[in-house]
């Protein structure tokens, strides 16, 4: 099992996603002799998981069933254990596009945090690229190394435990892109410039406060970055529902029907006409935004090394 390569069958030691529904799923480490409790009953790893195909429908001990899904960066973002606040798919998608990442790209990241963005970056640059990720907190760095090893991507990532504002990324003139998610990104702009390749490298900084953005932009200008711009990405979810609206009165029914080729002499058409007039309403599907939505998450500031 690897987060960047698809495996057909579930093996001992894999990380799998137990899917109970769109709003209910969780990761599980598959181990011989282990059981997992769900609201539908027990899942026995030895008999119910190991050797089965990913995507299989597994019946639990109480008769209910779940699906076992192959892990992806998107599913991991939705289910990972939070060690820090994380980036979600809305921001991750624009980051990977605006940094112009592709297979073979070299990326520097700080900080690693819970690894949500890290997994997406690794999948994007695989199989020949590399991610250099820096985490200030020692325990979080060690946990990230462990997860990357369990997820089969350790050969694509280097985790370093140090202060990026003081010590940089540990590499020079090789990165195609740099991403910063730290409290004071302006203090790391110089190190980011040193890590980027000679010309044309891209940088992105994520900050929740506009004051952080202002100081970061000033630092980018000071170090010669160009094409500086800041975005805020907001996700708006719509609910699809059936609504009923009253039919408007546009005049005599006979006149309307004759203008549209309606044959009122046909008995079947007369019946449907009477039914519609008596009902007086029509039903159709409509999309409406939710009354509450996730608001501000943060600002994304992009720039290019001149």
* 184 labelled ligand-binding: no
**116 belongs to an annotated ligand binding site:** yes
Is 135 annotated in some ligand binding site?
Answer: yes
Question: Does residue 147 have a known ligand-binding role?
Answer: no
Entry field: residues in the chain: 306
Q: Is 181 annotated as a binding residue?
A: yes
Residue 56 among known ligand-binding residues: no
**14 marked among binding-site residues:** no
CA-angle at 215, arms to 209 and 218, nearest 5°: 140
Binding site: what residues are annotated? 114-117, 135, 163, 181
Binding site for S-adenosyl-L-methionine: what residues are annotated? 114-117, 135, 163, 181
């Amino acid at each position: 099992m690897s987060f960047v390569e698809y495996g057909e069958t579930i093996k001992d030691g894999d990380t799998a996603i137990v899917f109970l529904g769109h709003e209910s799923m969780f990761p599980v480490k598959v181990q011989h002799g282990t059981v997992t409790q769900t609201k539908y009953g027990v899942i026995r790893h030895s008999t119910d998981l190991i050797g089965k195909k990913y995507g299989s429908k597994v019946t639990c001990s109480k008769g209910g069933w779940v699906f076992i899904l192959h892990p992806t960066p998107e599913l991991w973002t939705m289910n990972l254990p939070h060690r820090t606040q994380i980036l979600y798919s809305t921001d991750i998608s624009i980051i990977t596009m605006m940094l112009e990442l592709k297979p073979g790209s070299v990326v520097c990241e700080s900080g690693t945090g819970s690894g949500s963005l890290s997994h997406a970056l690794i999948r994007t640059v695989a199989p020949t690229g590399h991610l250099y990720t820096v985490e200030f907190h020692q325990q979080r760095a060690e946990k990230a190394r462990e997860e990357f090893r369990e997820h089969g991507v350790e050969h694509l990532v280097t985790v370093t435990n140090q202060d990026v504002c003081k010590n940089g990324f540990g590499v020079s003139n090789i990165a195609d892109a740099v991403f910063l998610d730290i409290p004071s990104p302006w203090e790391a702009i110089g190190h980011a410039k040193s890590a980027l390749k000679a010309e044309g490298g891209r940088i992105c900084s994520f900050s929740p406060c506009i004051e952080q953005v202002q100081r970061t932009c000033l630092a980018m200008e000071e170090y010669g970055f160009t094409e500086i711009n800041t975005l805020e990405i907001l996700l708006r979810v719509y609910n699809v529902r059936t609504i009923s609206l009253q039919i408007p009165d546009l005049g005599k029914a006979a006149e309307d029907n004759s203008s549209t080729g309606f044959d009122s002499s046909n008995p079947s058409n007369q019946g449907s006409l009477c039914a519609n007039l008596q009902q007086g309403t029509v039903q159709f599907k409509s999309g409406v935004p939710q009354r509450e939505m996730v608001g501000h998450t943060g600002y994304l500031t992009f720039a290019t090394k001149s």
